[in-house]
Amino acid sequence: MEINIKYMKEVAYVTLQKNPEEVYKRIVNHPNDSSWLKEYLGFDPYEVKEYSIEDFTLKLSENYDEVLFENSVILYEHLKHLPRYILCDPRFWAWITFEKAYEVAYATSNLTNSSVIGSSWLITNSRRSLMLGVVSRFFFMVQISVEETKADKYELTQYLVTNMETYRGFCYRNMGMLKNVTLAVIRAQKDICDRLNMTLLDSQSAEMLKETSKIGSVMLVDVMSQEEIYELIVPKFLKIIVSIKE
């Protein structure tokens, strides 16, 4: 079934941003239902837009890691055709977060204090904020790792969702905007882990991204192929594994 997308209204978004403590309390007290939002604001929080998407429902599990990959793909497949300006609008993601993915957002948040509201629920339109949003991150995790021309186009995505340190590194570095770089890094890490039958430590992932950034500072990686970057970084990644031990 097709549905029109929505944006959270500007006045609603600003009101919530200005009252993180109250929003935090309401979310904690209503983990399964965001109907409190309309009552709190006193008006319908959303406005309907002209673009439509196939309706979707995300999966829940007591152990969310079991459905993280599947939900990320569901989000990507249903939203990928939308224009970039929509996918980069925090008010679009507010609708997704509070109406379409509320229980998932709750399940994947570390709701220890109200700071999480501003850092991941009510995000800004900066690249980093969008990539780290409580729900938007799942979409962008797929976007930087999917290989549309491959038979198993989500092979690298499946690896990336198990290595959040690498994903966070992409969020905080400009090289995360270059898909030839992100694909080369993810492929190199996955191939090494498969070959050595190991799982990377966070410290190893962090050092690998630092090493890749060094290459980017002296070479024009934006015009290099994924394969060229891969050949450069694999030997460096192997050295990091040897030098950093648990």
- Could you read off the pLDDT of 53-103 as tens digits, one per residue? 999 999 998 888 899 999 999 999 999 999 999 999 999 999 999 999 999
- Report the relative pairing of strands 46-54 and 2-8 from DSSP bridges: antiparallel
Going 214 to 219 to 220 to 223, the CA torsion angle's sign is negative
Task: Read off the tokens for 47.
Answer: 């406005």
Q: Tell me the CA end-to-end span of the chain in Å, nearest whole number.
A: 50
pLDDT over 70 (residue 48): yes
Output phi, psi for 116, to 5 deg.
-65, -25
In the block, residue with structure tokens 């799942």: 138
pTM for the model stands at 0.93
Across the range 2-12, mean pLDDT stands at 97
State the pLDDT at residue 65.
87
pLDDT tens digit sequence for 221-242? 777 889 999 999 999 999 999 8
Mean per-residue pLDDT over the chain, rounded: 93
pLDDT at 214: 85
Half-sphere exposure of 181 (CA within 13 A, CB side): 26
β-bridge mates for residue 7, sequence order: 47
Give residue 219's pLDDT band: very low, low, confident or very high (50, 70, 90).
low
Contacts for 191 with CB less than 8 Å, ≥ 6 apart: 234
Q: Name residues whose C-beta falls within 8 Å of residue 142's C-beta, 6 or more positions apart in sequence.
A: 72, 73, 75, 76, 154, 157
